[in-house]
Structure 1
């Protein structure tokens, strides 16, 4: 944290002074960005491509807890979760707008730390910041990010276009972000009971990063392009694997067979789930915030993708009448149900 002598109250700069301070070093990277920050609106020229737009809102106390979320990580994550939505359409993100609502407890130095993470994510993924807004907030920190991406019309992939017989695929591994969250919540409670006890996170770096510093899978979009595989349907895993599969099946009017033994779970995720007396499969199915890509492909494309270690084939699409089923490791058939994130749960 900062010493009081090093703190700069935001009212010393004012809204426009703050914006100027935070955006003075922005360098545009995309030819499609004709005008970014500095005028009444950004000007973009996507050169004949289709434009994809998505927005996410992150609220302090609802979507993040600053007791264990460093501001730099929060800024990074705020960008990544938005980029993931564009990747989930088989497109490449290019620009973002970032808007903040801040209570009086936040100083310039705190907002600079948040923006360090924002700029780090944008630099890594070659994203232009082209606008946004700042305002005061009585409810802590509010972050709103809007992302724009581009794709040729024939490359865009939707949720509602899965076909019977398609293979169900997912990138990376699942459940890590949820188990990382359980670990952070446990250490927070221990700290509140005894502030002298230091957090015990040794050896858990991977699942902590899965929660605090997720990565949008833009590399999978490029991989599929390189392999000449166009998914038949696609979505990102933000609310849990089960929820996302059911979205694809409902919107495509199809069923599915999902095999428990095929769901990719990292050993650290598995071990940590067991430490908390949680079922690792349930963590993968319902945990959320993994930001991996779930997609379906035609069976004819199987040979193109079968050797990629970062993509798992976990089931297949069926006719709607067959229902959405989870086949357990013991061969039992269970109805697939979603128990993931509910944005309006009290």
Structure 2
């Protein structure tokens, strides 16, 4: 890509590892009282005053999790933070700090890495998260991004995957399948471009699903909403691998079954129409596509009145006893066993 070919670019070898770290971290400002010491020593120092600390980590690899043919580096930096913050939100907790580790091949100039970090810093600023450390290294496999996120919560507020009870309502935030359809669109335009570089990408009117793929947002607002209306979910997970996979995770770990209604699954009209244009079933895209980073959670039936009028939360089914199985009820009323066909981290395939 021409972002790496410009003669005015700075070779990272000119700075060296310590010079690069100093260059990238010189403007970091710490905002959380719990961050005693951030970047610049052998280890960060944190103090949480009796709170419970949550930790999660994710790794993104070039050619596996992202394609730089259509992923701007700034968007990639932003997304790499968001997918980690989402894991903390899925525990009903508040993300507070991250560490950022980068492996890069020699094709990456200083300016390219600065662009990546611009997105990282933008996400951290927007979600009030401190960067407290990390690592940099050369890589022979292209770009590798590894983020570790720390969060904080009162012990009584933490929500796990295994707390769903029979009769609980199954809820999901936002809408589903958009990120997967954005990916299909970008992949199609990439192939057309490779066949004829003179043809410009045709993405007009598809901003929403493109953004769902390239610039997802962790649903910290849903966590705030639940806190405001005094609803504590009984189980929760983020939708990273497709709705079906996440529902099955909750059911398996809670030792329960479920009834999931196809007609209740929230799908944006643009997602629906784009799926049809690709001869795909929109429901399958929502069930198996992944990368929506919405929150799937269960609540007690007694909390129904508190949440029923929120336009950004859909009630899509309910929890049953384990013996009843995990079922998808089609729009026609047919009962199908719910199966997961989502992201396979070791097969590098998306099934849709």
TM-score range, shorter chain: over 0.9
1:221, CA displacement in angstroms?
A: 0.3
Alignment of 1:127-276 (within 5 A): 127-276=129-278
d(CA) in 2 for partners of 1:152, 1:224: 15
Partner of 1:107: 109
Q: Specify the SS of the correspondent of 1:41.
A: coil
Change (3 A) 1:3 1:65: closer
Does structure 1 retain, via aligned residues, the 8 Å contact 2:176–2:268?
yes
1:38 to 37, 40, 53: 40
Partner of 1:60: 62
2:338 to 318, 328, 336: 336
Does structure 1 retain, via aligned residues, the 8 Å contact 2:213–2:291?
yes
Partner of 2:307: 305
d(CA) in 2 for partners of 1:35, 1:157: 29
Does structure 1 retain, via aligned residues, the 8 Å contact 2:56–2:150?
yes
Describe the superposition over 1:229-269 as per-residue Cα deviations: whole angstroms up to 9, x where unpaired: 00000000000000000000000000000000000000000
d(CA) in 2 for partners of 1:107, 1:345: 31
d(CA) in 1 for partners of 2:277, 2:123: 32
More displaced stretch, 3-12 vs 172-181: 3-12
Q: Specify the SS of the correspondent of 1:6.
A: coil
Gaps of 5+ in 2: none
Taking only aligned residues, the RMSD between alpha carbons, in angstroms, comes to 0.7
TM-score by length of 2: 0.98
d(CA) in 1 for partners of 2:282, 2:99: 37
Aligned residues: 346
Describe the superposition over 1:138-182 as per-residue Cα deviations: whole angstroms up to 9, x where unpaired: 000000000000000000000011000000000000000000000
d(CA) in 2 for partners of 1:240, 1:143: 22
d(CA) in 2 for partners of 1:38, 1:102: 21
Q: Specify the SS of the correspondent of 1:21.
A: helix
Partner of 2:15: 13
Runs (4+) off by over 6 Å: none
d(CA) in 2 for partners of 1:117, 1:151: 26
Partner of 1:125: 127
d(CA) in 1 for partners of 2:24, 2:162: 40
1:47, CA displacement in angstroms?
A: 1.1
Does structure 1 retain, via aligned residues, the 8 Å contact 2:4–2:109?
no
Describe the superposition over 1:118-154 as per-residue Cα deviations: whole angstroms up to 9, x where unpaired: 0000000001000000000000000000000000000
1:91, CA displacement in angstroms?
A: 0.3
1:5, CA displacement in angstroms?
A: 3.3
1:285 to 283, 287, 304: 287
d(CA) in 2 for partners of 1:46, 1:220: 23
Q: Specify the SS of the correspondent of 2:7.
A: helix
TM-score by length of 1: 0.99
Gaps of 5+ in 1: none
Q: Specify the SS of the correspondent of 1:5.
A: coil
1:6, CA displacement in angstroms?
A: 1.8
